[in-house]
Amino acid sequence: MTQNPSLSPAPFTFDVQACDGRARAGVFHTPHGDILTPVFAPVGTQATVKAVTPAQLHELGVNLILSNTYHLYLRPGDERIAALGGLHRFMNWSKPILTDSGGFQVFSLTGIRKIDEDGVNFKSHIDGSMHRFTPEKSMAVQENLGADIIMAFDECALPHDREYSQQAMVRTHAWAERCLRAKSHPTQALFGIVQGGVFLDLRKQSAEFIASLGFPGHAIGGLSVGESKIEMHAVLELVDGILPESKPRYLMGVGTPEDLIHGVLRGIDMFDCVLPTRLARHNAALTRAMGRLNLVNAAYAEDPTPIDDTCACYTCQHYSRAYLRHLIIAKEMLAATLLSIHNIHTLVQLARDMRQAIIEERFDAFTAENFRKREQEG
């Protein structure tokens, strides 16, 4: 992996600056800057956050993005990215990057992958070529990419299948140990992942085991994949009492406003999701109070108001619902950009507001007000 010589090895310490109940405001130190938590990370699957430039992300206050190991391994290739100076230089992003392990994508390739105790064989969704990922391979690919935070190779099971959840958890634990042995770059922080489906005894066992391995941070995987909100919250409450408070907790793949609030209430520090840009490409605006607005609706054809008159984003400050609907109906690419800017801003600003509320010890009042507005607009 090509390393930037100006970056010195980071200690990857996590400072908890304030607590209000189980909610925490902290800072995670990385080679490419501090990550203030709670934090929402937009997803740049293929080294780009869809429809948004890095300059626009900087203007939105984004200080962490996620890219996908599986997709970048297949195209353009992790070795090519390393030869070109690593992912930061390749995509012109100077702030922290997190890469997932590729596990979720590989294991979602039902019918074109085969799992064994050592790893998984899978067929490329692009050209049908055969490949193999093991914990060691995932570490090698992520080291080539050069992200600040990398993830242990894990297996995500169906949430309600106990036998499969247990098997996947056991493999995840064995693979976590192998990832630790294989990791070699001090400028990357490797996070372990807690699995176990919706089964609290398995989640307890997994959280205790992963916490014992000494990772600088911990992720909770296998949620927001079909379980109920009650089941998700029960898992988060359980692991909150087990994972060390001195290290960040990352809830993978979760990104609605209400889920961010519920996660922070239960000790979560970090979130990522494709939701804001995916909704934008499907003509929907995300708001904290009103949920989602489908701007294809004819009711917005002559609506001169912004998406959200309380929102300070570029889109809401300059454009009406009527104009956005026009762009959508005319199939103009600008629609996806303007809606992505608004949707990302909504979640990034929510994380900022939660952080401030925690610091000022008014997080309970903050959450109550947000949920009250949601119910009124509902």
Catalytic positions, written as ranges: 100, 272
Query: What is the distance between the alpha carbons of residues 280 and 345, in angstroms, rounded to a whole number?
Result: 12
Q: Token digits for 169?
A: 């958890």
Question: Per this entry, what is the length of the chain?
Answer: 378
Q: Token digits for 364?
A: 């309970």
Query: What is the distance between the alpha carbons of residues 44 and 41, in angstroms, rounded to a whole number?
Result: 9
Residue 205 half-sphere exposure toward CB, CA atoms < 13 A: 15
Per the rule left: phi > 0, alpha: psi between -120 and 50, beta: everything else, 244 is beta
Query: What is the distance between the alpha carbons of residues 181 and 66, in angstroms, rounded to a whole number?
Result: 24
Scan for tokens 């200690």, then name that residue: 11
Q: Which of 148, 118, 150 is nearest to 135 (CA)?
A: 118
Do 252 and 220 contact (CB within 8 A), yes or no?
yes
Side chain identity at residue 229, one-letter code: K
Query: What is the distance between the alpha carbons of residues 171 and 114, in angstroms, rounded to a whole number?
Result: 14
Do 171 and 155 contact (CB within 8 A), yes or no?
yes
Which own/partner pairs from 254-260 qualify as long-range (CB within 8 Å, at least 24 positions apart)?
254/223, 254/224, 255/40, 255/347, 256/286, 257/286, 257/287, 257/288, 257/346, 257/347, 257/350, 257/370, 258/371, 258/374, 259/224, 259/229, 259/232, 260/38, 260/40, 260/347, 260/350, 260/351, 260/354
Q: Cite the beta strand spans of the chain per DSSP E.
A: 14-20, 23-30, 33-37, 39-42, 65-67, 97-99, 113-115, 120-123, 130-133, 149-151, 189-194, 217-220, 249-251, 270-273, 284-287, 291-294
